[in-house]
Amino acid sequence: MQAVSRTMRKNGGGSIINASSVEGLAGMPSCTAYAATKWAIRGMTKCAAMELGPKGIRVNSVHPGMIDTPMTRVHGGDAAMEYGASKVPLRRVGVPDDIAPVYVFLASDESSYINGAEIAVDGGVTSTHAFGA
């Protein structure tokens, strides 16, 4: 953000989109270090949105849930994908094509009044209450 904000200010504004995770919205056992970095991105996004908004720069974060990629498949392959899908209200894990349009939207002028938002793209995982799952 620091590297691009100066150029964005000179060019009249822009959109910064930070990549986080659902672990930046809720805790998960055995993921303390990972979750801490994702919560940090969330907080950094909020602060930057307030600081850069007056300069015409919007700052938002995207929080994907379980996405079927080589990185997630390394932790159990098809079995992990099936187990993950069973925990998602939509009963499937996401694919990269579920995430990409959110980034395109946030980068576009169609989202010109969205600043400081955290967008969960998780099939509904973060919509639940602890007793609802």
- CA-to-CA distance for 85 and 26, rounded, in angstroms? 18
Q: Are 65 and 26 in contact (CB under 8 A)?
A: no
Active site residue 34: yes
Rounded CA-CA distance 74/52 in Å is 38
From the centroid of its chain, how far is CA 115? 14
Per the listing, tokens 């899908």 go with: 85
- The catalytic residue positions are 34
